[in-house]
């Protein structure tokens, strides 16, 4: 008899944004679809939010400029992004997950960690998949693990619409020969630095001396990379509602900005938007940041602490313009952004 125990499941909605669009446009099923910007792939500086599997077969992926996506897949259908629709679909999915006798930790529109006490995690995963599909028409992949790290990796192995178990029992067999950037939390840059030290695989990283790693990557990060390679990770599912620490608004301009008056007007408009966001959230801002991206791709950020917590649009606009004055606006600008940090409750 299989004992009942705690499991971590990672629920990852398959090609979520594209899937929501296909529910609204069923005639596009089976065709390459790219979602991004206003749906016009000829406009500069717009990128793909997602692409269907049919488009991905042509090398299209999220974050790719739409113009590049059009060249790689000229037969693709391009659709504009619709965040309110994705937020609504995500809320329906998360409500379905919460209806199960489990703990749910939301990580974004399209993913959540589940803490479940069961003797059959595959059955729980299958039940979740059926409920999500019946309630929303969306499919999801589910990874099962002893901790979040394992479950997150397992859901990628399960795609699309499958279930995969990755635990301490099969960790070595599945992961040891994979490159270090297969681990959740190690990207290409760190993987290259590890390779420079002769650590190319997960097994090699797991066998590395933590003191040597600390010398190269710092006392926290170095041993942590080895911890990941051993298949370790956090096993607590936190159900406390996520509280935003701030809000930001930014715009990438189709034509570079050079007129100082226009730049100030754009910053003022963005500050008004984050003031509205703060008001709608019932929060007070304590810090204002301004981001400026000069052509071709030089980004600078400056910030200032407010004299007192506020959500007053005039105060936030004044503060943003004061921060803007600290920039040398001698080059054309392609992006502007304004962000506020909120006063945290408690």
CATH number assigned to the domain comprising residue 282:
3.30.1490.100
Domain boundary among 167, 197, 220: 167
Q: What's the whole-number mean pLDDT along residues 76-82?
A: 94
Considering the domain architecture, whether residues 159 and 178 belong to the same structural domain is answered as no
Please, is 346 exposed, middle or buried when counting C-beta atoms within 10 Å of its C-beta (0-12, 13-18, 19+)? exposed
Considering the domain architecture, whether residues 224 and 280 belong to the same structural domain is answered as no
Please, is 181 exposed, middle or buried when counting C-beta atoms within 10 Å of its C-beta (0-12, 13-18, 19+)? middle
Is residue 188 assigned to a domain? yes
Contacts 24+ apart (CB under 8 A), 193-200: 193/217, 194/225
| Alpha-carbon gap, residue 118 to 5, rounded angstroms | 6
Considering the domain architecture, whether residues 55 and 163 belong to the same structural domain is answered as yes
CATH number of the domain that residue 158 is part of:
3.30.70.270
Is residue 327 assigned to a domain? yes
Q: What's the confidence (pLDDT) of residue 258? A: 92
Considering the domain architecture, whether residues 4 and 90 belong to the same structural domain is answered as yes
pLDDT confidence tier of residue 256, bands split at 50, 70 and 90? confident
Active site residue 111: yes
| Alpha-carbon gap, residue 113 to 104, rounded angstroms | 6
| Alpha-carbon gap, residue 275 to 247, rounded angstroms | 9
Q: What's the confidence (pLDDT) of residue 152? A: 97
> In which domain, by residue range, is 257 found?
246-342
Is residue 128 within 8 Å of residue 114, measured between CB atoms? Answer: yes
Q: What is the mean pLDDT of the chain?
A: 93
Considering the domain architecture, whether residues 139 and 42 belong to the same structural domain is answered as yes
pLDDT confidence tier of residue 243, bands split at 50, 70 and 90? low
Q: Which of 111, 122, 169, 315 is catalytic?
A: 111
Considering the domain architecture, whether residues 225 and 263 belong to the same structural domain is answered as no
Is residue 235 assigned to a domain? no
Give the total number of structural domains in the chain.
Answer: 3
Does this model's pTM top 0.95? My answer is no
Q: What's the whole-number mean pLDDT along residues 247-262?
A: 88
Considering the domain architecture, whether residues 219 and 251 belong to the same structural domain is answered as no
Considering the domain architecture, whether residues 1 and 80 belong to the same structural domain is answered as yes
Is residue 234 assigned to a domain? no
Is residue 240 assigned to a domain? no
Q: What's the confidence (pLDDT) of residue 239? A: 82
Lowest-confidence region among 64-68, 94-98, 150-154: 64-68
| Alpha-carbon gap, residue 229 to 203, rounded angstroms | 7
Per-residue pLDDT tens for 131-149?
Answer: 999 999 999 999 999 999 9
The yes-or-no verdict on residue 241 having pLDDT over 70 is no
Considering the domain architecture, whether residues 157 and 55 belong to the same structural domain is answered as yes
Considering the domain architecture, whether residues 324 and 201 belong to the same structural domain is answered as no
Considering the domain architecture, whether residues 138 and 32 belong to the same structural domain is answered as yes
Is residue 73 assigned to a domain? yes
């Amino acid at each position: 008899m299989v004992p009942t125990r705690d499991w971590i499941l990672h629920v990852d909605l398959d090609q979520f944004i594209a899937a929501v669009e296909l529910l609204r446009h069923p005639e596009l099923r089976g065709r390459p679809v790219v979602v991004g910007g206003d749906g016009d792939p000829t406009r500069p500086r717009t990128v793909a939010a997602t692409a269907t599997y049919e488009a991905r077969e042509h090398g299209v992926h999220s974050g790719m400029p739409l113009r590049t996506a059009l060249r790689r897949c000229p037969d693709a259908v391009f659709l504009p992004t619709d965040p309110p629709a994705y937020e609504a679909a995500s809320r329906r999915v998360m409500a379905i997950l919460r209806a199960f006798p489990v703990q749910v930790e939301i990580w974004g529109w399209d993913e959540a960690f589940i803490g479940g006490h069961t003797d059959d995690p595959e059955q729980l995963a299958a039940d979740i998949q059926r409920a999500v599909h019946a309630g929303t028409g969306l499919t999801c992949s589910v990874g099962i693990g002893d901790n979040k790290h394992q479950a997150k990796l397992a859901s990628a192995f399960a795609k699309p619409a499958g279930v995969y178990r990755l635990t301490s029992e099969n960790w070595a067999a599945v992961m040891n020969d994979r490159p270090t950037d297969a681990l959740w939390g190690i990207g290409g840059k760190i993987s290259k630095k590890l390779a420079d030290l002769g650590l190319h695989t997960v097994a090699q990283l797991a066998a590395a001396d933590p003191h040597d790693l600390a010398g190269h990557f710092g006392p926290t990060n170095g041993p942590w990379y080895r911890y990941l390679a051993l298949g370790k990770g956090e096993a607590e599912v936190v159900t406390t509602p996520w509280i935003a620490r701030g809000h930001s608004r930014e715009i990438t301009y189709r034509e570079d900005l050079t007129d100082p008056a226009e730049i100030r007007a754009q910053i003022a408009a963005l500050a008004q938007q984050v003031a509205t966001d703060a008001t709608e959230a019932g929060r007070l801002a304590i810090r204002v940041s301004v981001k400026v991206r000069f052509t071709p791709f030089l980004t600078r950020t400056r910030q200032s602490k407010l004299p007192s917590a506020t959500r007053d649009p005039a105060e936030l606009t004044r503060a943003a313009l004061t921060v803007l004055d600290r920039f040398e606006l001698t080059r054309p600008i392609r992006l502007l952004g304004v962000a506020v940090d909120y006063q945290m409750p408690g």
